[in-house]
């Protein structure tokens, strides 16, 4: 009887209380709602994803690297409402639920306090808080990666783990198929080497199910899978051996896209955590070896490494969101290391170690908050500029149905309610002849920077100067529609 009670207590300790992941996930959700303005307008990429299912503007051009997962994710709200605040709240709640499920998938593999700390470490990064409530894929690849690796390690425990592998692999592939492959390379290798055929089947089935639509679309719209991959590589500057570690460091100051990445390096205070993370993860591996949990720790580290490889060594630019899957996986061994640093010293050194770790984490949180606040304020201001531009275009007669081309045409067109078009570049989807043909039927305008020059087809159009932009509006001469004249 006593032995049975002891086993029960050990089993409960091993699995940990379900409340710890819930508390962390709930705090993460609240932090998103408090620190990222729910009314923050949609960004460039978000307008592309949301326009596929919403009715505020016609669907924007969908370039080769993109996948439809985000559009499906936002469809329950965006298909009937244009409220950005409602969409942000919905995504923040989903993000919190996703983090909860991700942490729960590691129950029994790490102590509960390590899981809670790992969730807090990942959830308090400015890049996590900033992107979780946005209509972007990277956070969801990170959540899928956490669940997939956790379920894979415990695949022999229950059939539910196999379902978790398949569902999480499908989630990653639905959001970003190429990222899903990079994340799961170590798992595929491990499954074959140790003959985990059921786990391998679940993983392959999930990847295939998630990527199916993307692959079919490749043949329908891009000339085949190879052509879509090649076009995606071209849009990303041509995949090859490129050292982008320094670019990622430059982006940590709050640059959501660092392309080209020529800014000076940020203050070392901002990048210190980035250097500390792999060191803590390495220490976490050493601790795991001694504690008998080498396999889960090594799996997390291996998948974090392969997830980061393309964004550190294969592209010529950087965005901090690209590394979210790596950060999520590295948070587990890093949290393990932090607890070891606090609890390992004996006697009087233990309070000293605990104080030093607490001060370090407090400083880290302060830096993350400052970067997040500045990034959010700058982003809100930029998107308010797009709204003002859309209002001015409306006052100039550019109203739906309409067409915008040129500088920042995709996001501004979304706010204006117009289609967007480009004759060259990554988002080329039309021709000059088609633009001129549209100008005979609907309002058409092209945008340039304040010191830019209009394209040849718009040189005779009416010029208007807006804040930081020049707008060239095509004259209208259809029945009952007098031509627009140049504003004084």
| pTM: predicted TM-score of the whole model, two decimal places | 0.93
Q: How much is the pLDDT for 9? A: 35
What six digits make up the tokens of 187? Answer: 């798992």
Spatial CA neighbour of 216 closest among 204, 206, 228: 228
Q: How much is the pLDDT for 409? A: 97
Q: How much is the pLDDT for 347? A: 76
Spatial CA neighbour of 357 closest among 339, 380, 371, 382: 339
Q: Kindly report the CA angle at 450 between 417 and 382, in degrees rounded to 5?
A: 50
The model's pLDDT over 123-140, given as tens digits with 9 standing for 90+, comes to 999 999 999 999 999 999
Please, what is the angle between helix 197-221 and helix 159-175, to 10°? Answer: 20
Dist CA 198 CA 200 (whole Å): 5
What six digits make up the tokens of 268? Answer: 């070392």
Mean pLDDT of the chain, nearest integer: 92
Q: Residue 283 in contact with residue 337, Cβ under 8 Å?
A: yes
464 forms beta bridges with 471
Domain boundaries, the chain: 237-344, 380-473
Which contacts (CB < 8 Å, 24+ apart) does range 76-79 have? 78/50, 78/53, 78/54, 78/135, 79/53, 79/54, 79/55
| Displacement of CA 143 from its chain's centroid (Å) | 11
Q: How much is the pLDDT for 157? A: 62
Q: How much is the pLDDT for 346? A: 81
Q: How much is the pLDDT for 158? A: 81
Which residues, given as ranges, of the chain have pLDDT below 50? 1-16, 478-488
Contacts of residue 243, defined as CB under 8 A and 6 or more positions apart, other chains included, come to: 312, 313
What six digits make up the tokens of 131? Answer: 């992107």
Contacts of residue 111, defined as CB under 8 A and 6 or more positions apart, other chains included, come to: 16, 339
Q: Residue 278 in contact with residue 256, Cβ under 8 Å?
A: no
Q: How much is the pLDDT for 18? A: 57
Question: Helix or strand or coil: residue 469?
Answer: strand
Q: How much is the pLDDT for 14? A: 41
């Amino acid at each position: 009887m006593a032995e049975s009670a002891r086993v029960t207590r050990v089993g409960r300790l091993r699995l940990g209380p379900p409340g710890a992941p819930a508390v962390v996930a709930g705090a993460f959700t609240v932090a998103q709602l408090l620190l990222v303005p729910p009314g923050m307008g949609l960004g460039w990429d978000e307008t592309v994803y949301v326009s596929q299912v919403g009715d505020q503007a016609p669907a924007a051009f969908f370039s080769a690297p993109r996948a439809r997962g985000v559009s499906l994710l936002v469809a329950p709200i965006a298909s009937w409402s244009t409220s950005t605040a409602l969409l942000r709240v919905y995504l923040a709640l989903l993000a919190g639920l996703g983090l909860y499920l991700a942490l729960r998938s590691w129950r029994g593999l790490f102590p509960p306090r390590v899981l809670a700390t790992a969730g807090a470490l990942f959830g308090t990064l400015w890049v996590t808080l900033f992107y979780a409530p946005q209509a972007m894929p990277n956070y969801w690849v990170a959540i899928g990666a956490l669940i997939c690796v956790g379920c894979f390690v415990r695949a022999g425990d229950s059939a539910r783990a196999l379902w978790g592998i398949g569902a999480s692999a499908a989630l990653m592939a639905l959001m970003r198929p190429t990222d899903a492959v990079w994340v799961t390379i170590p798992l595929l290798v491990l499954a074959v080497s140790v003959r985990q055929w059921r786990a391998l089947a679940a993983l392959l089935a999930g990847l295939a199910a998630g990527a199916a639509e993307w692959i079919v679309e490749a043949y329908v719209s891009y000339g085949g899978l190879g052509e879509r991959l090649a076009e995606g590589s071209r849009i990303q500057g041509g995949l090859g051996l490129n050292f982008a570690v320094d670019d990622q460091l430059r982006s940590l100051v709050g640059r959501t896209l660092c392309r080209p990445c020529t800014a000076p390096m940020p203050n070392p205070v901002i990048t210190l955590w980035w250097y500390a993370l792999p060191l803590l993860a390495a220490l976490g591996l050493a601790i795991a070896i001694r504690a008998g949990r080498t396999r889960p720790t090594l799996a997390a580290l291996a998948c974090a490494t392969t997830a980061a490889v393309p964004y550190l060594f294969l592209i010529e630019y950087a965005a901090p969101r690209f590394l979210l899957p790596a950060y999520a996986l590295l948070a587990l061994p890093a949290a393990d290391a932090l607890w070891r640093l606090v609890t390992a010293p004996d006697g009087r050194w233990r309070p000293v170690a605990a104080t030093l770790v607490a001060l370090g984490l407090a400083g880290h949180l302060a830096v993350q908050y400052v970067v997040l606040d500045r990034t959010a304020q700058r982003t809100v201001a930029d998107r308010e500029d797009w709204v003002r531009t859309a209002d001015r275009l409306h006052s100039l007669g550019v109203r739906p149905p309409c067409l915008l081309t040129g500088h920042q045409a995709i996001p501004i067109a979304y706010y204006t309610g117009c289609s967007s078009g480009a004759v060259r570049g990554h988002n080329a989807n039309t021709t000059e002849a088609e633009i001129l043909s549209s100008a005979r039927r609907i309002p058409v305008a092209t945008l340039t920077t304040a010191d830019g020059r209009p394209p040849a087809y718009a040189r005779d159009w009416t010029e208007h100067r807006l804040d930081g932009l020049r707008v060239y509006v095509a004259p209208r001469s259809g029945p009952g529609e007098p031509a627009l004249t140049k504003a004084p």
